[in-house]
Amino acid sequence: MTRRIHILPDSVANQIAAGEVVERPASVVKELVENALDAGARSVQVLLDGGGKQRIRVSDDGVGMGREDALLSLDRHATSKISKAGDLSLISTFGFRGEALPSIAAVSRLSLETSEGGDSVGTALRVEGGKILSVDAFPRQAGTTIEVLNLFFNAPARRKFLKTAAAETRAVNDVLTGLALANPSVGFTLTSKGRTLMDLRPVDDVATRISDLWGQDSASTLLAAAGEGAGVGVRGLIQRPDAAGPGFRRAHLFVNGRPFKSPSLLRAADRGYRTTTGAGQRPWLFLYLQVTDGGVDVNVHPAKLEVRFQEHAWVESLVEETVRGALSGAESSATLDSQLAPPALAVREPPPGSRAEEKPDVPGSVSQMALFLSREEGSPEEADGGGEGDERVEAPVGPSEAGRPRLWQIHDTYILAETREGLLIIDQHSAHERVLFQRLMSGFEKEGQESQRLLFPLTLRLSPPEMKQVVDLQGLLAKAGFEVEEFGGDTVILQSVPNPHRYFNAERCFREMVEELTEGSDLVRSAKNQHERIAMTFACKGAVKAGQRLSQEEMAELFDSLFATELPYHDVHGRPTIVRLGSGELERKFGRH
């Protein structure tokens, strides 16, 4: 009988294994830099020629290897990271499969120079297509340097699928960026064709690294986020909604110090932004997850790009809640301040007993009213330049209650509120939108929103599509306060309407709501369900308008109601309800610094 099954030669098997681990130059850089980090390197240098297709050189100052370990590192499944299957659930290093170096060596001309430092000599190996050509001794300092020449020289079918040198260089830069964000205390350099593309100093926190990568202005748009529960902790930096833009964004995820990809977790983070950003806005995200042993499996992808959580749904929920919580704090509001310090975020475990070990405050957990300055807490004499004979012009309003700031309305559109740290500028329409939205969403969970029965019901004619929409949503409209009855044909009768404020025009609000619900809009499409669609359109069309003069009592009621909502700093369109102006910025503008 003819044999059809046979054992592949090691050279072929290694090339097949390389196909799972080594896809392009960026894959090589990822594996080599991860090994350097696992070796305790404090500085990593990467050099490319031809986008890495011609040459990749990775040097580090880690612990290095002795002669025997250097030779063993080229054998498949040789590793110092694990020794038994049970270790796979306790992995705390980047590399553990023992496949990377032999896989790279199988499809390149590789040289390895390494020394443990304490030895008088180091070890130099030369490998071609997986075959060791030479082993030499030579003097060098502690650390390792690996050079990879002519990647896929013996696999031309794979080499022809590599992209241009510029595209491969960008891919390497992206990989190195993720590792640099995961390890801010390590310095990184990337050089290509004699040009330095990345030169990152070791720093203490993530925000400083982000600033070094993309500038202080970008880092200053970020705010801290923190949450934990059921063996999972989430800390990170997310972008203020007003700073988010369309198109490309920076979005990086890490678990136990390891970069990974998860579209579902990014979608969960985006859900946390719901009703705080406009359509198409894509905020930057840098989220660091810490999961207890056994809670995450990092051994589900040959290149270790994906992970599997034991309780994935719970992790998604925690990410969404963490982002949502950060957006409830004052730091998430728009600001006129030109010099904002990025929030500090250390991602390595702090030493036991250190101050950094204490649990971080979750944004939004402090009472919002603690921000505000009451009339009794300040005096004119405390201001710079105050003294006898100085007169202070009082606001044209009555005395404020303790704990509530003085309020002014300007242009019948904006409300100014004094705070401990400066000034808030509140858009009365946007603020009322947020109030009405949350009030109606809360009403949906109960028996609906209160309404008043009209002495003279309103008879309205609608288009056929609008009529169908009203009939389909009749129950939800009733909970929103609009009691609608069909009158036949294209006519409905409004028997009851809500009464959110004394300037409310019920007919106009209802017509505009029905039109938007029927025709659709970015606002309607951003809602997660019909309840949100109704609440959003009602809030938008029913809120007090710009140009409407408010009494002091009305301003005070709007102010108090706004800060009783879950997300007081953002309206349902993703626009800011409040713009902050810090006292430090005022002092800079007036030359007091």
Domains annotated for the chain, with CATH where assigned, are 10-200 (3.30.565.10), 206-349 (3.30.230.10), 368-374+402-593 (3.30.1540.20)
The answer, yes or no, to whether residue 141 has pLDDT greater than 70, is yes
* Lowest-confidence pick of 95-99, 211-215, 413-417, 477-481: 95-99
Strands 122-128 and 109-115, sheet pairing = antiparallel
Confidence of residue 384 (pLDDT cuts 50, 70, 90): very low
Q: Provide the β-strand partners of residue 109.
A: 128, 149
CA angle 7, 10, 13 (to 5 degrees): 75
For residue 88, is pLDDT > 50?
no
pLDDT at 435: 97
Predicted TM-score of the model (pTM): 0.81
Q: Residue 108 and residue 23: Cα distance in Å, rounded?
A: 13
Query: How high is the pLDDT of residue 258?
Result: 87
Residue with token string 């985006």: 270
Q: Which percentage of the chain shows pLDDT scores above 70?
A: 81
Predicted pLDDT at 85: 45
b/e for 196-225, b at 16 or more Cβ within 10 A?
ebbebeebebbbbbbbbeeeeebbbbbbbb
DSSP string for residues in 408-452:
EEETTTEEEEEETTEEEEEEHHHHHHHHHHHHHHHHHTTT----E
Tokens of 488: 């036949």
Grouping H, G, I as helix, E, B as strand and the rest as coil, residue 16 is helix
The percent of residues in the chain predicted with pLDDT above 90, rounded, is 59
pLDDT of residue 361: 42
- Residue 403, pLDDT score: 58
Contacts of residue 172, Cβ cutoff 8 Å, sequence gap at least 6: 25, 26, 29, 46, 48, 51, 52, 190
Position 271 pLDDT exceeds 90: yes
What are phi and psi for residue 143, nearest 5 degrees? 130, -175
Residues 6+ apart with CB under 8 A from 476: 444, 530, 531, 534
The span from the CA of 77 to the CA of 84, in Å, is 12
What pLDDT does 3 receive? Answer: 67
Mean pLDDT of 402-422: 87
* 297 bridge partner residues: 308
Residue type, 228: E
pLDDT recorded at residue 386: 42
Q: Contact, 80 vs 62, CB < 8 A?
A: no
Residue 383 burial by CB count (10 A; 0-12/13-18/19+): exposed, middle or buried? exposed
Of the given ranges (345-354, 460-469, 525-534), which has the lowest mean pLDDT? 345-354
Provide the b/e sequence for 520-549 (b: ≥16 CB within 10 Å).
ebebbebbeeebbbbbbbbbbbbbbeeebe
Distance of CA 231 to the CA centre of its chain: 21
> Could you give the C-alpha distances from 302 to 27, 94, 171, 281, 553, in angstroms and in order?
11, 12, 18, 33, 64
Q: How far apart are CA 298 and CA 296, in angstroms?
A: 6
39: pLDDT strictly greater than 60: yes
Output DSSP code: residue 490. T
Q: What is the 3-state secondary structure (H, E, C) of 103-171?
A: HHHHCCEEEEEEECCCCCCEEEEEEECCEEEEEEEECCCCEEEEEEECCCCCCHHHHCCCCCHHHHHHH
What pLDDT band is residue 488 in, cutting at 50, 70 and 90? confident
pLDDT tens for each residue of 15-36: 555 545 789 999 999 999 999 9
What does the pLDDT average to over 470-486?
93
Distance from C-alpha of 405 to C-alpha of 49, rounded to nearest angstrom: 62
Nearest CA-CA partner of 240 in 287, 276, 266, 270: 276
200-209, 346-355, 372-381, 524-533, range with the lowest pLDDT: 372-381
